[in-house]
Amino acid sequence: MAKGMREIKREIKSKQNMRQITKAMEMVAASRLRRAQLAATAARPYADKLKEVVANIAAGTKDVKHPMLESRPIKKTGYLVITSDRGLAGGYNANVLRKVTQTIQEKHKSTDEYALFVIGRKGRDYFRRRNMPIVEEVIGLSDSPTFADIKSISSAAVQMFADGAYDELYLFYNKFVNAITQIPTESRLLPLEEMSDNGAVSAYEYEPSPEGVLEVLLPKYAETLIYSAVLDGKASEFGARMTAMGSATKNATKMINQLTLTYNRARQAAITQEITEIVAGASAQS
């Protein structure tokens, strides 16, 4: 019985150490979530204003043509997938990777029919293990990524579409709703949705020409959408990690309480047995 009590006590200590770790990770994720959420929110006005300007130019320019606005027969598809570098975030990575894999299996019969751009070590490793074609990857993003951090992969994805390397580009990421809810999202990035301006067209003068400005702004707009999704993904990652570590901390507390109860019962049984043996010995001597 004493040996069993020692094992239970050792297990309680182990669970207490684990609870300290998960609680610390929960608090760290909560602090980072706030910064990531503010960054994601701050990026939206820029994207909205850029869309407004692009829509204004498109609405005010007749017969505007650009490769990023033109649909063409689908021979090959590009996928840009945003995951995290670290785990311990619940279903954050598994959900989006499952959604990408399911889409690819439904739409393609060969690896020649699609190309992958991956942000995050978890996604990179997942696709590598399955020998799926990764064109470009970015890993090791900071907790507060800048546009420069993903400039290379976003530019490559947009430029390859413009060059005709593939005929459509989809974006997969976790859309942040709140700390508990992150929605695996599939969004067609290119060709861009038809640009329309529901309000009156503002009278802007463009230099050198509206078409020239549109030529520059359209790639920037697509890259901005990618960066906005990265910021959304970061907020989702920290929200998922905070929730997962919170659940782990609660589970550890329940296990500690159950083990403590078991330990107390075992200790009480051992004391009762010792008292019984003492009484029996005293009775035998009398």
pLDDT of residue 204: 64
Give the CATH number of the domain where residue 189 resides. Answer: 3.40.1380.10
Provide the residue-wise pLDDT of the chain in tens; the chain has 286 residues: 455 888 999 999 999 999 999 999 999 999 999 999 999 888 888 888 887 777 777 666 656 677 787 888 999 999 999 999 999 999 999 999 999 999 999 999 999 999 999 999 999 999 999 999 999 999 999 999 999 999 999 999 999 998 999 999 999 999 998 888 999 999 998 887 655 555 545 566 667 777 777 788 888 888 999 999 999 999 999 999 999 999 999 999 999 999 999 999 888 888 888 888 787 777 777 6
CA neighbor of 143 nearest in space, from 21, 224, 39: 39
Q: Are residues 60 and 103 in the same domain?
A: yes
pLDDT of residue 284: 74
Residue 47 domain boundaries = 32-242
Q: How many domains does the chain have?
A: 2
pLDDT of residue 29: 94
3-state secondary structure the chain: CHHHHHHHHHHHHHHHHHHHHHHHHHHHHHHHHHHHHHHHHHHHHHHHHHHHHHHHHHHHCCCCCCCCCCCCCCCCEEEEEECCCCCCCCCHHHHHHHHHHHHHHHHCCCHHHEEEEEECHHHHHHHHHCCCCEEEEECCCCCCCCHHHHHHHHHHHHHHHHCCCCCEEEEEEEEECCCCCEEEEEEEEECCCCCCCCCCCCCCCCCCCHHHHHHHHHHHHHHHHHHHHHHHHHHHHHHHHHHHHHHHHHHHHHHHHHHHHHHHHHHHHHHHHHHHHHHHHHHHHC
Q: Are residues 260 and 139 in the same domain?
A: no
Q: Are residues 162 and 248 in the same domain?
A: no
Q: Give the predicted TM-score (pTM) of the model.
A: 0.85
Q: Are residues 79 and 125 in the same domain?
A: yes
